[in-house]
Amino acid sequence: MQEWYLIAILFLATVVGTKLLREIPSLLHTPLMSGMNALSGITVLGTVVVLGQAVSRGDKLLAALAAVLAAINVVGGFAVTRRMLRMFAEKGDDDV
């Protein structure tokens, strides 16, 4: 049961995502990719879960290491995307 609802969510997210992603012009493909990169750091939630469950010291440290990696991924991704998008916005003369 639990499996099917997760598979359905995966299916929905990919279908809607793909539809939206196709609309993005190649002008913005690099910021798109770095933004997606940041989102792939969503696994930081997984590190929270496994850290909460970890019993041994080794497991806790391993989970913390994963949290560091995921946080680099999230923050680095969003920061660099912001930087690039500002370059485009500066030239977009009117708005923003």
Partner 1 sequence: MTMFDLPFLTENVTVILELLAIAGVLLGIRWMSSPVTAPRGNGLSAACMGIFILLALHRHKLLQSGLIWGALAIGAVIGLILGQRVRMIRMPELVALLNGFGGGASAIVAWLELTGQSGATTSFVRATGGLGIAIGMATLSGSLLASAKLSRWLSQRPVNWRGLNFFKNLLLLLALACLVVIAALPGTAGQTRLVASLLGLAAFVAGWLAVMRIGGADMPIAISLLNSLSGVAASFAGFALNNFVLVAVGGIVGASGLVLTRIMCRAMNRNLGAILSGRTTQAPTAPTADSGPEPEPEDAGPAAESVRPGLTEAVAAFRQAGKVILVPGYGMAVAQAQQQVKQLYDKLCSLGHEVAFAIHPVAGRMPGHMHVLLAEVQIPYEKFMELEQANPQFPETDVVVAIGANDVINPAANTAVDTPIYGMPVLDVNAAKQIVICNLDAAPGYAGVPNPLYEHPDTMLLFGDAAETVAKIVSGLTAA
Q: Which of residues 27-56 bind partner 1 (CB under 8 A)?
A: 27-55
Determine, following the binding rule CB under 8 A, whether residue 84 of this chain makes contact with partner 1.
Answer: yes
CB of residue 15 to partner 1, shortest distance in Å: 8
CB of residue 57 to partner 1, shortest distance in Å: 11
Determine, following the binding rule CB under 8 A, whether residue 1 of this chain makes contact with partner 1.
Answer: no
* Contact yes or no for 67/75 (Cβ under 8 A): no
CB of residue 56 to partner 1, shortest distance in Å: 9
Determine, following the binding rule CB under 8 A, whether residue 91 of this chain makes contact with partner 1.
Answer: yes
Determine, following the binding rule CB under 8 A, whether residue 18 of this chain makes contact with partner 1.
Answer: yes
# residues contacting partner 1 (CB under 8 A): 85
DSSP state of 92: S
Q: Which two tokens stand for residue 75?
A: 């923050």
Matching residue, tokens 């993005």: 24
Rounded CA separation 5/77 (Å) = 30
Neighbours of 76 (CB within 10 A): 14
